[in-house]
Amino acid sequence: MRAWRTAGLAILPIALVGAPATARTAAAPPTGVADAALAGHYYLSGVMETGSELLLRRDGRFEWYVSYGAVDQSATGRWSRDGATVTLTADAPSPDAPPIRADRVLPWDAQAERRLRDAEWSREADAVAQRCPWNDDVAATAAPLSAEAPPRPAAAAAKAAEARRTAERARDDATRAMAAALAPGAPADARAAADAAMAAWHGARDDMERAHVDAGLPAPAIGSPVAPTACAQPPRPDTGALPSTQWRRGIAALVGDPARDLRLSGVDVTFVYGDGHRETATTDRGGWAFVPRRAGTAVERLIVAVPVQGLTPVTLPVAPLAEGVQTLIVDTRQLVAPPFRTMRLTVDRDALIPATMPRGRYIRH
């Protein structure tokens, strides 16, 4: 089995759709044999807005990948040549192997601690973004105003000066509206008022800049609305070495498919402690989900819900885990059928032409 600590693994899309692969009919074995003369790495050309690669190995195995729009698909299996036809036969899942199972337990280490702190930071940053959607255009502190430009008699200069005063008022109104929206006991319409004030600020700022351009003047630096303290972004975790005496420690699940170098995001994992308490966490883009330790008890079961249509959550008994990382293996080939059972390509000198994309050509590099 491949190491769980491998870095730079691919990410499985959060939402998988389609029937489980075990419900599909397996393809017939390929005819012919692998031809070492065709082995190599091929890239698709001639198909707009589609990227695809095909790796034919000398041992008769292949790897295939395609990306178009927001869709990424891949397949592995065996290939063979029969005359001018190359046939790819995708691997069929084993009907006897469980699609989700608990694997080994890893001790809590520096990587787990770093992942825990990154996850805590992400939750805090997401909470701030939810609480303060205005953060993209606010200042943590008031910016100093630029000196007034020398007055000009032209009407355009007067219009620019008035536009600046209007923008400054809109800036200050937005600052007050955001503070009011986040004040304890704020009325239900305070948030909408803050949104409207920010929209007015955007419009006033644009009008000010346009008026100064028309007057041949540089746009003044009047700063942005000042965000409330509750909108402050949390500091990023220190990336330096952290002594183990300062670790917070915890319990984690690491979910992936090591056979395909995949870590799975968007998987809900419910940790069931021996005292009956439950905590649910969702795996991040690295496949990690974290919950706190509980004094005097340990996690004894995991309920794993992979977002695949028609797949019910799976309950997995585990050895009591008071601290550490429980790895979970998901056989993704059983959850979603490969995009094809067989694919046929025609050999055309150094190129392979897929039957399903006659205008495309896989060119070897």
Average pLDDT along the chain: 86
Which residue is associated with the tokens 């070492």? 36
Residues 78-104: tens digit of each pLDDT: 999 999 999 999 987 777 778 899 999
Q: Average pLDDT of 284-304?
A: 96
Cα(56)–Cα(80) distance, rounded to whole angstroms? 9
Cα(57)–Cα(62) distance, rounded to whole angstroms? 6
Q: State yes or no: pLDDT of 244 exceeds 60.
A: yes
pLDDT of residue 19: 43
Q: What percent of the chain has pLDDT over 70?
A: 86
Residues 152-200: tens digit of each pLDDT: 557 899 999 999 999 999 999 999 999 999 999 999 899 999 999 999 9
Class of the domain covering 11-95+336-364: mainly beta
Q: Are 184 and 230 in contact (CB under 8 A)?
A: no
Which range (1-10, 117-126, 262-271, 310-319) has the least confidence?
A: 1-10
pLDDT of residue 140: 53
Nearest to 79 by CA among 58, 60, 92, 66: 60
Q: Average pLDDT of 222-236?
A: 90
Q: State yes or no: pLDDT of 310 exceeds 50.
A: yes
pLDDT of residue 79: 96
Q: What CATH topology corresponds to 100-126+248-330? A: Immunoglobulin-like (2.60.40)
Q: Sign of torsion, CA 16 20 24 26?
A: positive
Q: State yes or no: pLDDT of 245 exceeds 70.
A: yes
Q: Average pLDDT of 239-265?
A: 90
Residues 38-93: tens digit of each pLDDT: 999 999 999 988 999 999 999 999 999 999 887 788 888 999 999 999 999 998 77
Burial (CB < 10 A; 0-12, 13-18, 19+), residue 244, is: exposed
Greater confidence (189 vs 358) lies with: 189
Q: Are 87 and 80 in contact (CB under 8 A)?
A: yes
pLDDT of residue 9: 35
Q: How confident is the model at residue 334 (pLDDT cuts 50, 70, 90)?
A: confident
Q: State yes or no: pLDDT of 145 exceeds 50.
A: no
pLDDT of residue 90: 92
Nearest to 288 by CA among 309, 263, 307: 263
Strands 268-273 and 278-282: antiparallel
Q: State yes or no: pLDDT of 250 exceeds 50.
A: yes
Q: State the DSSP H helix or E strand holding residue 362, giving kind and residue range, or none if neither.
A: strand 361-364
Alpha carbons within 13 angstroms on the beta-carbon side of residue 306 total: 28
Which residue is associated with the tokens 């800036």? 171
pLDDT of residue 25: 45
Q: Average pLDDT of 141-158?
A: 59
User: Domains of the chain: which residue ranges?
Assistant: 11-95+336-364, 100-126+248-330, 133-227
